[in-house]
Structure 1
Amino acid sequence: MFKGLGQLGDMAKLMKQAQQIQGRIAEAQERLASIEVEGEAGAGLVRARCTAKGELTGVSIDPSLFRPEEREVVEDLIVAAVKSAQEAAAAAARDEMAKATEGLDLPPGVKLPF
């Protein structure tokens, strides 16, 4: 279709590819809201759940930790579990974006979304 147009044909190809990328990224971002991951701390005594977008959706604390003298330990475990969940969310987001751009001829090192 673009034979003989030289650089114009290349530009049209790039524009079409950009539209494909944009559509795939939009779909992937929608999926990120429905992917839920879990992080834990203290050998599973504290668990945090969040979406692949990083939104915290819940925290679960083992009842054995509910002692006033353990308050600081529990607080530290909550922070650790949330960080763990956020790391899992970031990994899930990277995986979804990799799927969205799979098969596209992108230069190495391109970070998406733009």
Structure 2
Amino acid sequence: MRDIMGMMSKAKELQSRMQEMQEQVSQIEVEGAAGAGLVKLVVTAKGDLKSLTIDPSLLKPEEAEILEDLIVAAHADARAKSEKIMAEKMQALTGGLGLPPGLKLPF
């Protein structure tokens, strides 16, 4: 019975810490870049796009396809960085709980 109470206590603690982490994550911003910095964007660690900067040299009709590809690449760069941050925070949060590898908790 003590084990169940201990597990329930840890679960409540984890829930509280996850809620705090969700609030923190929405404040973390990462920058993604592509095309040697010609396209830059900033996203939150949750993936919300905050800003997009495009070098004026790319604003030509004949460069539209390249620009589109660079925006997608910059977003992928920012997303990879935010996923790394999330993984590090999750490891810190669940370090002592022994959760199975690959378990994704909602954020």
Q: TM-score range by the shorter chain?
A: 0.7 to 0.9
In the alignment, which residue of structure 2 is the partner of 1:33?
26
Question: 1:113 — aligned with what?
Answer: 105
- Please tell me whether residue 78 in structure 1 is matched to residue 78 in structure 2: no
Provide the C-alpha distance between the structure 1 equivalents of 2:100 and 2:77, rounded to a whole number of angstroms: 28
Distance change (3 Å), C-alpha of 1:110 and 1:82: closer
Larger radius of gyration: 1
- Match status 1:21 vs 2:14: yes
Question: How far apart are residue 108 of structure 1 and its match?
Answer: 3.8
Aligned pairs (5 A) from 1:34-49 = 34-49=27-42
Q: What SS does the corresponding residue of 1:70 show, helix, strand or coil?
A: helix
- Listed as ranges, the gaps of 5+ residues in structure 1 are 1-7
Q: What is the rounded CA distance, in whole Å, between the counterparts of 1:58 and 1:17 in structure 2? A: 38
TM-score by length of 1: 0.83
Please state how far the C-alpha of 1:110 moved relative to its aligned partner. 6.0
Distance 1:75 1:108 in 2: 39
Q: CA RMSD in A?
A: 1.6
Query: Are 2:44 and 1:51 aligned?
Result: yes
SS at match of 2:51: strand
- Where structure 2 has 5 or more consecutive residues not aligned to the other structure, the ranges are none
Which deviates more, 52-61 or 84-93? 84-93
